[in-house]
Structure 1
C-alpha cells in the first residue's frame, strides 16, 4: 500500500490545519481519528488562539423570532480580505460566512412545545401562544410579567442579549433586565450558566455588565454595575470569577445614572462608554487589582454616534462628526494614558452619507479599516490608498429587521480548561435544542458588495 494521509508528520499537519478558516478546522475533525485527536488537543487550541485574528461575528435580530444564529465573517483562504481596488474595477470580496449558534434562554419551554407538537409561530402567523413568562430581578425575586406582556414578548423571553466578546468567549444576558446570565464559546458549542447575584436591601437596576480577562491571575471575570432606585443613587459593583459559585462586591462605581454601553476588555482592563446629557466619559475597571481606574477626558464633548471597541489591541473610540468619521485610540505606552487620533475618514460633502453608529471591526496591516453600521445592516471598508476609498458590503438574503456585529476572536479552547473550579456544569449548545427548527433559522445570509456612492 502507498502512503496514507495519517503518515503526514504531526507538526506539518498541525501547521497546515491551524491556518484554515474556523469552519474548515471543525470539518477536519471528521476526516479521521488522527485529525480529530490533533484538533481536540488543548495544545492545538492554544497554538491556534495565539495566532488567531479578530473577525466580525454577525447576529441577525428580530423581535418576532428566537435569535440564536451567529455568522463568523472570515477570509476564504490565506489571502485574507481581498478588498483591493484593481484598475478601478469593483473588488472581489472573498469572505466566508459560517454559521454557529447561541444557547436559548429557556430550552425546556421550547422542548415542551416540540414534544407536544406545538409549532412556535413564524413571522407570518399571529396565533397566540399561551405561556407564562417570569423573570428574576436583581434582588433574586421572581416577577410575573403577565399574560399580555407574555404574548408580546414570547420570542424575547427565549433569546439572550449579546453583551461582549473576550478571548473567544461571549457574555450573554437576559433580555428582561439585561442581567448577565451565561458565558459561551460558540466555536466549541459550550456554555455555562452564571449564578444569581446576592440579594440587596433596596431595589436595584442594572446599568452595565461585561466579561473580561485578568492576565495576572489568568482568570475570566464578569462584572455588573447596579444603581439603587432612589433619588440618591449609589452604583454597586459586583464581580464573578468564572468557575466559582458566587458574586462579590468590589465597592462603588464612579459613573452617572446613564446606561453603560460597549463593554470592552483590553490588556486586563474592562471599559464602558457612558453617555449622559451633560457630556460623555469612559469608566474602567482593573481586573487584576479589582479596582476602578481613571481614564483621560474624551477628545469630544457629546456622545452622539459614538462607538467603542478593541482595535488592534488598543481601546478605540469612533465618532461621526459633520463629514468625517474619526477614530481615536488610547496610547498607554507612556507615563500617562493619552487619546490619539489614528484615522480620519472624509465622507465628502454629501448629506446623503448614511449616519448612525460606525463600529470598528478590524484594522488591517495595510491601513484598511472595516466598520459595521447596524442601521444599514452593512459593512464599510475604507482604504485611503484605493482609487475608490469606500467599499460597501451589504448583508443580503435576510428577513430579519436588523442585525448586530461584534469583533470576535474564534477559539477552540474548552471552557473546562479556563474555569477556576471543577464544580460548574458545562453545557452543550447543540445537545438538546439542536433538533428544533425555529422560525427564520433556515434562512441564508450572504455578503454582497454594492455601490458606495451616496
Structure 2
C-alpha cells in the first residue's frame, strides 16, 4: 500500500502548527531553542507570514520530517443528498523551513484524516487519505509525489467492526513503529470508543483496540468524550516504545499504556502515571493567573523529543502548557512549562512541527 516510514528521526521540535483565529496558519514556539534552530524557526515563521493570504482557511492535518500537510475544506452545498459525501478538501504540502510547497489534486473520496510520510530532506512524499464509511468500511487512497497523482481507492472491511457510521475523534494520527493510530467512535455499543490501527507496510489489516474500561468520561454526556479529553501518545517502558492514552478528569491527566502487542485479545492497559495539574501549578514559584469561569484542561497534541516526549495542553484561558512525560516512575519534580499564549480557530487541529539534523545543517551552510 505505502512505503514504510523514513528512517530519519525527528531531532528538533520547533513548535506547533495551528489555524489562527483570523484565518491564517501560525507556528507557536513551545520550548527554548538551541542556537542552531533559531534560524529554522524564523524561516518557518517568515514562510507562513508571506503566504498568509494564500493559506487563509487552511489548517494543519499532518506533519512529518519537516513537512506539513495543510487542508482547506471547501464550502459544502446547502443540501447534501442521502448517500452522497461532502466534497474532498484542497490540500497543500509544504516545508516552511526550506520554502518547498506544492498543491495536490483533490482525492476522489471525502478526506477525514491524512497520514503524511516524508522520505529524507528531498520533496519525496506519500500521503494516505482515509474515510470511515458506513457498514464498517475503511476507504484508503494514496498519493505519491513520484507519480504526481492519487492511486485508486482501496476499501477494506477486515477486522473493522466500526458500526455505521464511525468517525475520527481527532483527525491527526499518531505514527509509531510503522503503524498509524487514531482515536475513533463507533455507533456499535459493544465497541464504542476505540483506537483504530493501520499498519503502513500494507502486509497487515487495520484493526481496532478497545479503550481501558476505567477511563472516566467526566465532561461528555453519557458515553461521550469531548475531543480534548483524550489523546494518543507514546512512552518508553522497559526500553520499548508503547502506545499510550492520555485522559483528562477534572484537572488530572492520567496516562494509560498498552501492555501487550495490539494483536492480543483483549487489549490490556495499565494506568502508570498521573499529573495533578492544580497541585503542580501551586508548587511553582510566582503568581498564578486568575482562574476564569470555563477554564479547564484541554489536551491539544503530543510532541516527541528524545525518549520522554511531552503533552501540550490548554489549562488557563489561551495558555498552552507543555509537560514532560517521565515514564519509568513517578518523580517528585515535574517539568511543566508555559509554551505560549494563542488563539486558534475553534475547529482547528494542532500538530507538532519538527525538523531533522540534515535540515538544520542545510540552513547553516
Q: Structure 2-normalised TM-score? A: 0.61
Q: Structure 1 residues 182 and 102 mapped into 2: Cα distance closer, same or farther (>3 Å)?
A: farther
Q: Which of 112, 120, 127 is 1:222 aligned to? A: 127
- Quote the residue 2:71 is aligned against: 173
Query: Does 1:59 find its partner at 2:1?
Result: no
Compute the displacement of 1:306 (Å). 0.7
Deviations 1:106-147 (A, max 9, x none): x7x95xxxxxxxxxxxxxxxxxxxxxxxxxxxxxxxxxxxxx
Deviations 1:50-94 (A, max 9, x none): 5x43526223533434x133244453349x9xxxxxxxxxxxxxx
- Quote the residue 1:355 is aligned against: 297
Matches within 5 A, 1:87-236: 98=42, 100-101=44-45, 158-176=56-74, 179=89, 181-198=91-108, 205-212=110-117, 220-226=125-131, 234-236=137-139
Query: Does 1:372 find its partner at 2:280?
Result: no
Distance (whole Å) between structure 2 residues aligned to residue 243 and residue 233 of structure 1? 32
Contact residue 224 and residue 239 of structure 1 kept, 8 A: yes
- Quote the residue 1:315 is aligned against: 243
**Superposition CA RMSD, Å:** 4.5
Q: Which of 278, 283, 288 is 2:196 aligned to? A: 283
Q: Structure 1 residues 281 and 220 mapped into 2: Cα distance closer, same or farther (>3 Å)?
A: farther
Q: Which of 257, 272, 280 is 2:165 aligned to? A: 257
Query: Does 1:69 find its partner at 2:21?
Result: no
Q: Structure 1 residues 275 and 190 mapped into 2: Cα distance closer, same or farther (>3 Å)?
A: same
Q: Structure 1 residues 60 and 264 mapped into 2: Cα distance closer, same or farther (>3 Å)?
A: closer
SS, match of residue 61 in structure 2? strand
Distance (whole Å) between structure 2 residues aligned to residue 317 and residue 211 of structure 1? 22
Distance (whole Å) between structure 2 residues aligned to residue 400 and residue 298 of structure 1? 29
Q: Which of 250, 258, 276 is 1:346 aligned to? A: 276
Residue-pair matches, total: 290
Distance (whole Å) between structure 1 residues aligned to residue 186 and residue 61 of structure 2? 20
Q: Structure 1 residues 266 and 391 mapped into 2: Cα distance closer, same or farther (>3 Å)?
A: closer
Contact residue 165 and residue 211 of structure 1 kept, 8 A: yes
- Quote the residue 1:306 is aligned against: 230
Distance (whole Å) between structure 2 residues aligned to residue 361 and residue 320 of structure 1? 17
Q: Structure 1 residues 209 and 103 mapped into 2: Cα distance closer, same or farther (>3 Å)?
A: farther
Deviations 1:27-50 (A, max 9, x none): xxxxxxxxxxxxxxxxxxx99x55
- Quote the residue 2:80 is aligned against: none
Deviations 1:251-297 (A, max 9, x none): 23533534322312221112221134642111122211265332432
Distance (whole Å) between structure 1 residues aligned to residue 251 and residue 344 of structure 2? 30
Query: Does 1:329 find its partner at 2:257?
Result: yes
Q: Which of 407, 411, 430 is 2:356 aligned to? A: 411
Which 5+ residue runs of structure 2 have no aligned equivalent? 1-5, 75-86, 216-223, 283-290, 360-365
Compute the displacement of 1:405 (Å). 4.2
Q: Structure 1 residues 168 and 317 mapped into 2: Cα distance closer, same or farther (>3 Å)?
A: farther
Q: Which of 192, 197, 205 is 1:292 aligned to? A: 205
Distance (whole Å) between structure 1 residues aligned to residue 336 and residue 92 of structure 2? 36
Q: Structure 1-normalised TM-score? A: 0.51
Q: Structure 1 residues 399 and 380 mapped into 2: Cα distance closer, same or farther (>3 Å)?
A: closer
- Quote the residue 1:242 is aligned against: 145
Q: Structure 1 residues 311 and 381 mapped into 2: Cα distance closer, same or farther (>3 Å)?
A: same
- Quote the residue 1:121 is aligned against: none
Higher relative contact order (CA 8 A, sep 6+): 2
Distance (whole Å) between structure 1 residues aligned to residue 268 and residue 136 of structure 2? 31
